[in-house]
Amino acid sequence: MAKAREPENFVVCLNADDYAASLEPRKLYRTVADAKAASLGLIRVVDESGEDYLYPSARFAAVALPKSVRDALAVAG
């Protein structure tokens, strides 16, 4: 049986200080679930490089998007 895919989650960058090459303020980013990182106050984000990296969670705010928008962004990304 195939493993169910987790829904895409997105955050908006609030502060890109010290990460100007990797993040843009006010831009949406896809996240990758990482419980251990979350317990340390970090979030795993797919940044401008296209790779996922850990960043301080305080730099982002979760964004609730309709399923149709999440699906469209997942296809585009």
* Residue 48 included in any domain: yes
The count of domains in the chain is: 1
What is the distance between the alpha carbons of residues 59 and 24, in angstroms, rounded to a whole number? 11
* Residue 63 included in any domain: yes
What is the distance between the alpha carbons of residues 20 and 38, in angstroms, rounded to a whole number? 22
What is the distance between the alpha carbons of residues 61 and 58, in angstroms, rounded to a whole number? 8
Query: pLDDT by residue (tens digit) across 23-37?
Result: 999 999 999 999 999
* Residue 74 included in any domain: no
pTM, to two decimals: 0.81
* Residue 4 included in any domain: no
**Which pLDDT value is given to residue 54?**
96
CATH number at residue 47: 2.30.30
Radius of gyration of the chain (CA): 13
Query: What mean pLDDT is reported for the chain?
Result: 87
* Residue 55 included in any domain: yes
DSSP label of 3: P
Range(s) of the domain holding residue 49:
9-68
* Residue 64 included in any domain: yes
